[in-house]
């Protein structure tokens, strides 16, 4: 008999829950090997990971139901790591399992950042910057971040996460998600935070069948972030979005849409030392800011094309092995100013041309990216604030031959863990 997969709010070792009454679950394995054929007695204990103070010690429960066990202890505190211990027994067998969880922002007074924007609804994606220095040794650090519609966050040139299209879409009139990431290993003596925003479903401007362009929450893109740093001497420093941040709107992502695609001009790329202007303080969205605790969108497979057909002097049709959701990563070299067009579709016509007007987007072609080369060796382009459903990809404007070496097919979706399989002798 073993205790495993201890979960808190259905997540293993969650980072940043804000539920004041989380639910616990666990798995008891090796029933058959140990001859267990009856109910098990279990108990759950929750304690402060650092101090050992006990916050909850449940009654001993006799059951075979180990999910949805509601916390009934002392009030949990913001920004705190807790140890979870599960003990179980059956006749003469006794086992223990241990895990942990960490709270996010539970108390309203702990929301101490401001929402900031570039002050206008610009086509070019705004990029926000904050520089700071540290003089003490860091024990741990977290970033609590929401960017509407989506954000890409980097610290000292490194993405804080490999997950995509954060935060998850909501009815922004009701709720807005923030994410929590461990950034302990990202920090140095001198630091630069760089956060770029994209429209997502929050600020879709073009007509669609679902009327996103008239959504009541539509507004200019805005950012909320708190960086909480705990030092080895137990002191804490918090860096928040406020008037001290700067913003640049002259970057390379000159247009982006969750449905229609992105325009990227690599000649306009900006460094962490670029010029910035003051940010604008914005009112908070109407929806309640809350922690996101579910499976996030991740790249789940990277594949190569099934076939590539040249259909004109500068245009190629790429066939993928299967219909998928995601995008391609395109890598090539070309002279500065060379513009390629990447169009995604699930269908092609008899001339191997993509069929882009699905009737859902007001006659406007959707799922189209453009990329302009800066002409500095090998360049790579992956859209960051859109996704596509596709089987075929048309790449045009190429002054070079397109081969499989140029293309990676990226499939991404919420990375829900596979828990079972099904097979059948009937091929149907």
pLDDT in the model for residue 39: 81
pLDDT in the model for residue 29: 80
Query: Sorting pLDDT into bands at 50, 70 and 90, what band is 358?
Result: low
CB 216 within 8 A of CB 174: no
pTM score of the predicted model: 0.92
Tens digit of pLDDT for each residue in 265-314?
A: 999 999 999 999 999 999 999 999 999 988 999 999 999 999 999 999 99
Query: Sorting pLDDT into bands at 50, 70 and 90, what band is 366?
Result: confident
For residue 30, pLDDT over 80 is answered with no
- Average pLDDT of the chain is 93
Q: 283 vs 115, 179, 215, 280, 403, CA distance in Å? A: 7, 20, 18, 10, 49
Q: How big is the chain, counted in residues?
A: 428
> Which residues does residue 82 pair with via DSSP β-bridges, in sequence order?
48, 101
Average pLDDT over every residue of 355-368: 69
pLDDT in the model for residue 1: 79
Phi-psi region of 253 (alpha: psi -120 to 50; beta: other; left: phi over 0): beta
pLDDT in the model for residue 323: 93
pLDDT in the model for residue 34: 57
pLDDT in the model for residue 169: 95
Tens digit of pLDDT for each residue in 147-206?
A: 999 999 999 999 999 999 999 999 999 999 999 999 999 999 999 999 999 999 999 988
Lowest mean pLDDT among 58-67, 135-144, 178-187: 58-67
Distance CA 212, CA 284 (A): 20
Query: Sorting pLDDT into bands at 50, 70 and 90, what band is 363?
Result: low
For residue 340, pLDDT over 90 is answered with yes
pLDDT in the model for residue 352: 73
CB 203 within 8 A of CB 149: yes
For residue 248, pLDDT over 60 is answered with yes
CB 316 within 8 A of CB 394: yes
For residue 356, pLDDT over 70 is answered with no
CA 375 to chain centre: 31
Structure tokens at 142: 């977290």
Find tokens 């594949």 and name the residue.
Answer: 303
CA 408 to chain centre: 20
Helix (H) or strand (E) holding 62: strand 61-63
pLDDT in the model for residue 220: 95
pLDDT in the model for residue 354: 73
Query: Sorting pLDDT into bands at 50, 70 and 90, what band is 59?
Result: very high
Where do runs of H (alpha helix) occur along 64-175?
A: none
For residue 209, pLDDT over 90 is answered with no
For residue 421, pLDDT over 90 is answered with no
pLDDT in the model for residue 364: 67
Where do runs of H (alpha helix) occur along 262-356?
A: none
For residue 350, pLDDT over 90 is answered with no
For residue 37, pLDDT over 70 is answered with no
Neighbours of 271 (CB within 10 A): 8
Average pLDDT over every residue of 90-116: 94
């Amino acid at each position: 008999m073993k205790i495993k997969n201890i979960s808190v709010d259905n997540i293993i070792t969650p980072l940043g829950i804000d539920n004041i009454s989380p639910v616990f679950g666990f798995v008891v394995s090796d029933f058959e090997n140990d001859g267990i054929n009856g109910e098990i007695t279990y108990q759950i204990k929750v304690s402060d990971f650092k101090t050992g103070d006990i916050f909850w010690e449940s009654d001993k429960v006799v059951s075979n139901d180990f999910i949805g066990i509601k916390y009934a202890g002392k009030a949990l505190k913001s920004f705190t790591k807790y140890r979870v211990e599960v003990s179980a027994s059956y006749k003469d067998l006794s086992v223990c399992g241990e895990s942990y969880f960490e709270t996010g922002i539970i108390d309203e007074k702990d929301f101490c950042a401001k929402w900031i924007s570039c002050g206008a609804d610009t086509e070019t994606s705004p990029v926000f910057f904050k520089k700071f220095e540290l003089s003490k040794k860091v024990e741990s650090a977290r970033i609590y971040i929401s960017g509407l519609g989506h954000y890409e966050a980097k610290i000292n040139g490194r993405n804080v996460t490999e997950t995509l299209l954060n935060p998850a879409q909501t009815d922004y009139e009701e709720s807005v998600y923030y994410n929590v990431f461990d950034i302990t290993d990202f920090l140095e003596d001198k630091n630069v935070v760089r956060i770029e925003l994209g429209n997502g479903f929050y600020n879709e401007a073009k007509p669609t069948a679902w009327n996103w362009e008239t959504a009541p929450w539509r507004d200019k893109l805005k950012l909320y972030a708190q960086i909480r740093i705990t030092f080895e001497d137990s002191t804490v420093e918090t860096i928040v979005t406020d008037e001290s941040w700067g913003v640049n709107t002259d970057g390379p992502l000159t247009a982006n849409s969750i449905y229609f695609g992105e325009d990227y001009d690599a000649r306009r790329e900006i460094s962490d030392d670029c010029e910035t202007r003051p940010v604008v303080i914005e009112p908070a969205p109407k929806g309640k800011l809350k922690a996101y605790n579910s499976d996030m969108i991740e790249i789940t497979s990277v594949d190569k094309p099934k076939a590539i057909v040249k259909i004109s002097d500068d245009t190629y049709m790429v066939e993928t092995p299967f219909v998928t959701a995601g995008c391609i990563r395109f890598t090539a070299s070309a002279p500065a100013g060379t513009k390629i067009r990447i169009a995604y579709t699930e269908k092609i016509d008899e001339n191997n041309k993509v069929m882009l007007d699905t009737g859902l987007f007001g006659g406007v072609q959707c799922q189209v990216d453009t990329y302009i080369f800066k002409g500095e060796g090998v360049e790579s382009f992956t859209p960051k604030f859109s996704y596509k459903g596709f089987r075929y990809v048309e790449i045009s404007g190429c002054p070079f031959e397109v081969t499989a070496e140029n293309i990676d097919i990226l499939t991404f979706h919420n990375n829900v863990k596979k828990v079972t399989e099904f097979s059948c002798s009937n091929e149907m």
